[in-house]
Chains A and B, each alone.
Chain A
Amino acid sequence: MRRAAELLARAAWTIRRVIGAPDYAAYLAHVRRAHPDRAPLTQAAFVRDVLARKYERPGSRCC
Chain B
Amino acid sequence: MTSPSVRVIAPRSTVAALGWALVALLGAGALATIALSRGEPVSAIWLLVAALCTYAIGYRFYSAFIAARIFALDDARPTPAERLADGRDFVPTNRWIVFGHHFAAIAGPGPLVGPTLAAQFGYLPGVLWIVVGVVLGGAVQDFVILCSSVRRNGKSLGQMARDEIGPVAGFTAMVAVLGIMVVLLAVLALVVVNALRSSPWGTVTIGLTIPIAMLMGVYMRWLRPGRVLEASAIGLVLLVLSLYAGRWVAEQPQLASLFTLSGRTLAVAIMIYGFAASVIPVWLLLAPRDYLSAFVKIGVVIALAVGILVALPPLQMPALTRFTDGTGPVFAGALFPFAFITIACGSISGFHALIASGTTPKLLAREGDARLVGYGGMLVESFVAVMALIAACALTPGVYFAINAPVSALGTTAQSAAAAIAAWGFVVTPLELETLARQVGESSLLSRTGGAPSLAVGMAHIFSRVLGGDSAMALWYHFAIMFEALFILTTVDADTRVGRFMLQDLGKHVWPRFGETSWTPAVVVSSGLFVAMWGHFLWQGVNDPLGGINSLWPLFGISNQLLAAVALCVATTIIIKMGKARHAWVTLLPLTWILIVTMTAGYQKLFSPLPRLGFFAHARLLEAARDGGTLPAGVASATDLGRMIANDYLDAAVAAFFLLAVLVVIADSAREWWAVVKGGKAAQSTEIPFVPRPAVAGD
Interface size on A, residues (CB 8 A): 39
Looking across the interface, which residue of chain A has its beta carbon closest to that of B91? A26
Taking CB as reference atom, which chain B residue is nearest A63?
B110
Asked if A37 lies at the interface with its beta carbon under 8 angstroms from chain B, I say no
If A24-B226, A43-B225, A57-B498 touch, whether A62 touches B108 (CB-CB below 8 Å) is yes
Indicate which residue in B156, B225, B290, B556 contacts A20 across the interface (CB closer than 8 Å).
B290
Q: Decide if B108 touches A31 in the complex (CB within 8 Å).
A: no
Contact B108 A58 (CB under 8 A): no
Given known pairs A60-B105, A63-B108, the reply for A16 and B87 (CB within 8 Å) is: no
A1 in the interface, Cβ–Cβ < 8 Å?
no
Partner of A62, one of B89, B105, B282, B517: B105
Minimum CB–CB distance from B227 to chain A (whole Å) comes to: 10
**B85 at interface (Cβ–Cβ under 8 A)?**
yes
CB-based contact A19/B291 at 8 Å: yes
List, in ascending order, chain B residues with CB within 8 A of A24's CB. Answer: 226
In this complex, what residue of A is CB-closest to B109? A63
B442 at the interface (CB under 8 A from A): no
User: Residue B181 contacts which of A26, A27, A58 (CB distance < 8 angstroms)?
Assistant: A58
B97 within 8 A of A: yes
Asked whether, in the complex, the Cβ of B295 is within 8 Å of the Cβ of A60, the reply is no
Known: A55-B282, A58-B181. A50 touches B358 (CB 8 A): no
CB-based contact A58/B228 at 8 Å: no
Contact partner of B101 among A18, A48, A49, A53, CB < 8 A?
A18
Whether the pair A53, B290 counts as a contact (CB closer than 8 A) is: no
- Residues on B with C-beta less than 8 A from A23 are 87, 91
The residue that A51 contacts in the complex, of B232, B283, B502, B560, with Cβ under 8 A, is B283
Q: How far is the CA of A58 from the CA of B294 in the complex (A)?
A: 18
Q: Among residues 280 to 326 in chain B, which have CB atoms less than 8 Å away from a CB atom of chain A?
A: 282-283, 286-287, 290-291, 294-295, 298
CB of B608 within 8 Å of the partner chain: no
Contact status B494-A60, CB under 8 Å: yes
Residues of B within 8 A of A15 (CB): 229
Residue A34 at the B interface, CB < 8 A?
yes
Q: Chain A residue with minimal CB distance to B89?
A: A53
Write out the residue numbers on chain A whose beta carbons fall within 8 Å of the beta carbon of B88.
Answer: 22, 27, 46, 49-50, 53
**Closest Cβ–Cβ distance, residue A20 to chain B (whole Å):** 6
Q: Is the CB of A56 within 8 A of B345?
A: no
A20: B residues at CB distance < 8 A? 101, 104-105, 290-291, 294, 359
Q: Determine whether A44 belongs to the interface, using a CB cutoff of 8 Å to chain B.
A: yes
Given A26-B91, A49-B88, A63-B345, the answer on whether A58 and B495 have CB atoms closer than 8 Å is yes
Please give me the residue from chain A that is nearest to B286 by CB atom. A55
**How far is the CB of A23 from the nearest CB of chain B, in Å?**
7
Q: Does B40 contact A (CB under 8 A)?
A: no
For A55, the chain B residues whose CB sits under 8 A away are 282, 286, 494, 497-498
- Nearest to A42 among chain B residues (CB) is B225
Interface residues of A in 1-49 (CB under 8 A from B): 12, 14-24, 26-31, 34, 43-44, 46-49
CA–CA, A49 to B282, complex, Å?
10
**Chain B hits for A51, CB < 8 A:** 282-283, 286-287
Cα–Cα distance between A52 and B284 once the two chains are bound (Å): 11
Q: Is B199 an interface residue (CB 8 A)?
A: no
Q: How far is the CA of A53 from the CA of B291 in the complex (A)?
A: 16
Smallest Cβ distance from A46 to chain B, in angstroms? 8
A55-B497, A58-B177 given as contacts; is B87 within 8 A of A63 (CB)? no
- List of B residues within 8 angstroms of A50 by Cβ: 88
* Min CB–CB distance A35 → chain B (angstroms): 10
Are B491 and A16 touching (Cβ within 8 A)? no
Q: Across the interface, do B86 and A30 meet the contact criterion of CB distance under 8 Å?
A: yes
Q: Are B358 and A57 in contact (CB under 8 A)?
A: yes
On whether A61 and B494 interact (CB within 8 A), knowing A16-B228, A52-B282, the answer reads yes
Stretch at the interface among B349-357, B385-393, B399-407: B349-357
In-complex Cβ contact of A59 among B345, B358, B490, B497 (8 A):
B358
Residue of A nearest to B282 (CB): A51
Which of A29, A30, A46, A61 is B495 in contact with, Cβ under 8 Å?
Answer: A61
Residue of B nearest to A29 (CB): B87
Chain A proximity mask over B473-496: 1 for CB below 8 Å, otherwise 0: 000000000000000001100110
Q: Can you offer 10 A-B residue contacts whose CB atoms are under 8 A?
A: A14-B94, A14-B97, A18-B104, A30-B91, A46-B88, A50-B88, A55-B282, A60-B355, A60-B498, A63-B344
The 9 closest A-B pairs by CB, nearest first: A59-B358, A30-B87, A27-B87, A59-B354, A63-B110, A18-B100, A61-B494, A19-B294, A21-B228
Give me the interface of B with A, judged by CB distance under 8 Å. Answer: 85-89, 91, 93-94, 97, 100-101, 104-110, 156, 177, 181, 184, 188, 221, 225-226, 228-229, 232, 282-283, 286-287, 290-291, 294-295, 298, 344-345, 349, 351-352, 354-355, 357-359, 490-491, 494-495, 497-498, 501-502, 517, 556, 560
